Chains A and B, each alone.
Chain A
Amino acid sequence: RHPLATFFHLFFRVSAIITYLLCDWFSNSFVACFVTILLLLSFDFWSVKNVTGRLLVGLRWWNQIDEDGKSHWVFEAKRVPTIAASTEAEARIFWLGLIICPVIWTVFLFSTLFSLKLKWLALVIAGISLQTANLYGYIHCKLGRQKSTSRVTS
């Protein structure tokens, strides 16, 4: 039902990983690769947080600051999820993409540390934090919904 959203969900994450692996082929310049991967990671973070989450699985999370300056993290889930075959497939793609990519970036972290290519360290850490933040946010949304349905049915 949302082929474009599914495509973009995977496109930015996978392009960031591929660019990181093949950066020596694309260009000699460290700076160009760094900026490209950083921009891809940022676009991925924004699109997964704001667009693909609510379109593919009906979940959303954000931070809001109220009048007296306290910050609240809000995790929201669509009340009546529609169970259709296409939404099942999309949800599976969503969660697979969400989980596999931070794992790959963690592998990159260790490879950077052990091969001492420390100039990439900042980028790998940025990648891990952005993708893990989305993963954590959506897991929190999903667990929140399961908690509230169990309260209704108990």
Chain B
Amino acid sequence: FAGLADVSISEDIPVEGEITVPVGSHSPDEDFSTLDEPVRDTILRDLKAVGKKFVHVMYPKKSSALLRDWDLWGPLVLCVSLALMLQGGSADSKDDGGPQFAEVFVVIWFGAVVITLNSKLLGGTISFFQSLCVLGYCVLPLTVAMLVCRLVLLAGAGTVSFIVRLIVVVAMFGWSTLASTAFLADSQPPNRKALVVYPIFLFYFVISWMILTFTPQ
């Protein structure tokens, strides 16, 4: 390449070229790299996101992970496990507590939808699915409480076990409510915070009530 060392462009040659702007939606190159990624990467990426959110619920600081990349897998898993643990516990269960199972589902999802609509009507800036995501993930402490209650009930159903269950459920209820209000109350104007926190309080109260009044047959 010795001959290239003394190549130079004299200044009176115009430099010209063509600038083309692609028409239509311009997607950055990173999108096309995930458009062709192998399936295992997609699965692992989503699983890691779900796991991170569970950790964020246990330590509720004001991080944006729960809010920015919402997903509804965590709420689905929590809802199913809570409904599974809560069935077979009421007086009129005939075959296998089928209606009670569907009831828990309906209470959780319908309740979450109503709270989201309420906060949107009060002028909140959070989007519908973000709010569902936060409310769903914050059911995690109550699911843990349910697990503990079932284990305590295996040991016996007397007054002591009731007191233990009461303490556990109240503690987890407080944790759930605090975690969800930490994420949701920020998106409201300051004079409306109580109006938004109250339905969330009620929602987790109903779930805690279902957990506390559960008695196995």
Contacts and interface: CB of A to CB of B under 8 A. Distances in A.
A119 B76 CA distance: 18
B53 to A, nearest CB: 14
Contact of A34 (B39, B42, B102, B126): B102
B7 to A, nearest CB: 37
B70 A29 contact: no
Contacts, number: 73
B50 to A, nearest CB: 11
A122 to B, nearest CB: 5
A148 B42 contact: no
A54 interface: yes
Interface stretch (B93-101, B150-158, B163-171, B201-209): B93-101
A152 B35 contact: no
Chain A binding surface SS class: helix
Contact of A69 (B87, B101, B187): B187
Given A31-B101, A71-B127, A148-B24, A122 B95 contact: no
A144 B127 contact: no
Interface string B64-102: 000111100100100010001001000000011111011
A38 B105 CA distance: 11
A71 B129 contact: yes
Nearest to B76: A42
Contact of B27 (A39, A50, A76): A76
Contacts of B69: 65
Nearest to B100: A31
B35 A28 contact: no
A22 interface: no
B210 interface: no
B125 interface: yes
Interface string B100-115: 0110011000000000
A58 B36 CA distance: 9
Given A31-B87, A119-B102, A152-B24, A38 B129 contact: no
Report which residue of B23, B102, B130 has the largest number of chain A beta carbons within 10 angstroms of its beta carbon. Answer: B102
Contacts of B187: 69
B68 A122 contact: no
A78 interface: yes
Contacts of A28: 95-96
A30 B35 contact: no
Contacts of B18: none
Interface in B139-192: 187
B67 A31 contact: no
Nearest to A29: B96
Interface of B: 23-25, 27, 31, 35-36, 39, 42, 46, 67-70, 73, 76, 80, 84, 87, 95-99, 101-102, 105-106, 125-127, 129-130, 187
